[in-house]
Amino acid sequence: MKNKANEQLSEFLAGQGLKSTRQRNRILSVFVSAGRHLSAEELTLLVKKTDAGIGYATVYRTMKLLSEAGLAHERRFEDGVTRFEYNASEGHHDHLICTRCGRIIEFENEQIEALQQSVAKKNRFLVQSHKLELYGLCSNCRGKRKSTPDVR
Amino acid sequence: MKNKANEQLSEFLAGQGLKSTRQRNRILSVFVSAGRHLSAEELTLLVKKTDAGIGYATVYRTMKLLSEAGLAHERRFEDGVTRFEYNASEGHHDHLICTRCGRIIEFENEQIEALQQSVAKKNRFLVQSHKLELYGLCSNCRGKRKSTPDVR
DNA sequence: CATGATTTTGATATCCATTTTCAATTGCAA
DNA sequence: TTGCAATTGAAAATGGATATCAAAATCATG
């Protein structure tokens, strides 16, 4: 009866011998419906609107769990704060990050990925993962002095 | 009489109305002669061998200063610790980072840079800076079970 | 449905890198 | 030398993330 994400969570928990709890389901629901990159703090604030009794620690723990379950991905950009993104399914992607309004745009580019492999090969290096982030001004913020924050 | 880096520092300090101090010169000298990426902690340990009275706070403050002076670049990789690299002159480069021994290899690739620009253009995004990191196993660590730590 | 072993939770303490505070010291122009 | 702003070192504060621990909740079992 629940949405797909929550079903996936239930499966994962059952498979790991972990328990299904109100908190875990609530946190996942809020996270998914937010539909954007969220820090643990932002997520906690959203969650508390629905269920004031859920604490920070539980949010942190749950997000780690969701990462293990493949339902969330941890991202840490320049500001040093870990943010989570909901990963419905698709593969790897990289990010454009607006330094003014915080907007995060995702992109994929196989040509770049291929070149990365060739660089690695030249250095006899075996790539396990990579991170590509482009920082700058998004279309909304170019040429503006002020802006409406999108994400903090 | 000093080396080039220290001369650059003196110029920068004079230009900013800041003072030349024993600590600042000592820290820069140690940093430059190390010739590799160093965290503030690693650098402090090295500095203390020469001059035990220099504290952490001064190292942090000085490295921030050197960054402003263009003599150092801050880098923060996945482990969340800020490291500094001495930048003699050359332009931008990216990194291959060994997840086993911590070795850091620098590389440049204009093709990748060009593709980044095209991605940005498609998204009407103005790039100010970027970060590309490839994590994996270096040539020494491929096929090994254990390794000799290079950094940390 | 009651039991009880095992998990989970929430509040709080702790960790760790970095920054700030502040009184004492130092650099340097006059 | 003197005077004052800049700098320093030690220690406290900060901030995000993790660990601790007693109380509460889950859930297989009887």
Chain C nucleotides covered by protein, CB below 7 Å:
7-13, 17-21, 26-28
CA of A57 to C1' of D19 (A): 10
- The pLDDT value recorded for residue A2 is 54
Contacts for B78 with CB less than 8 Å, ≥ 6 apart: A76, A131, B97, B133, B135
pLDDT confidence of residue B113: 96
Q: How far is it, in rounded angstroms, from Cα A148 to Cα B46? A: 46
For residue B144, pLDDT beyond 90: no
What does the alpha-carbon distance between residue A17 and residue B62 come to, in Å, rounded to a whole number?
A: 51
| SS3 (DSSP) at A35 | coil
pLDDT tens by residue, B107-128: 999 999 999 999 999 999 999 9
Q: How far apart are CA A130 and CA B119, in angstroms?
A: 17
CA atoms within 13 A on the CB side of A26: 18
A125 touches chain B (CB under 8 A): yes
Q: Which residues pair with A74 in a beta bridge?
A: A84
Q: Say yes or no to pLDDT of B54 above 90.
A: yes
Over residues B40-52, the mean pLDDT reads: 96
Instruction: Decide if pLDDT at A118 tops 90.
Output: yes
Question: What is the structure's pLDDT at B36?
Answer: 92
Q: How far apart are CA B68 and CA B13, in angstroms?
A: 11
Q: Find chain A residues with C-beta within 8 A of B111's C-beta.
A: 115
- The full set of domains in chain B, from first to last, is 4-86 (1.10.10.10), 91-152 (3.30.1490.190)
Determine whether the distance from the CB of A4 to the nearest atom of strand D is below 7 Å.
no
> What does the pLDDT look like over A67-117, one tens digit per residue?
999 999 999 999 899 999 997 556 789 999 999 888 999 999 999 999 999
Q: What are phi and psi of A101, to 5 degrees?
A: -105, -5
Q: Which pLDDT does position B91 carry in this prediction?
A: 74
Best CA proximity match to A72, nearest among A133, A1, A12:
A12
Q: Please, what is the Cα angle at A121 between A116 and A122, to 5 degrees?
A: 100
> SS3 for B50?
helix
Report how many Cβ contacts below 8 Å link chain A to chain B: 113
Average pLDDT score over residue span A60-67: 97
Per-residue confidence band for B89, with pLDDT thresholds at 50, 70 and 90: low
Residue B150 confidence (pLDDT) = 44
Q: What is the mean predicted confidence (pLDDT) over A23-37?
A: 96
pLDDT band at A147 (very low <50, low <70, confident <90, very high): very low
Q: What is the pLDDT of residue B82?
A: 96
* Helices of type H across chain A: 4-16, 22-34, 40-50, 56-68, 110-122
Confidence check: pLDDT of A28 > 50: yes
| Cα–Cα distance for residue pair A143/B126, rounded to 1 Å | 10
Could you tell me what percent of chain A has a pLDDT over 70? 91
Rounded to an integer, the average pLDDT of B66-70 is: 95
Give the pLDDT confidence of B12-28 residue by residue, as tens digits: 999 999 999 999 999 99
- Partner B contacted by A56 (CB < 8 A): no
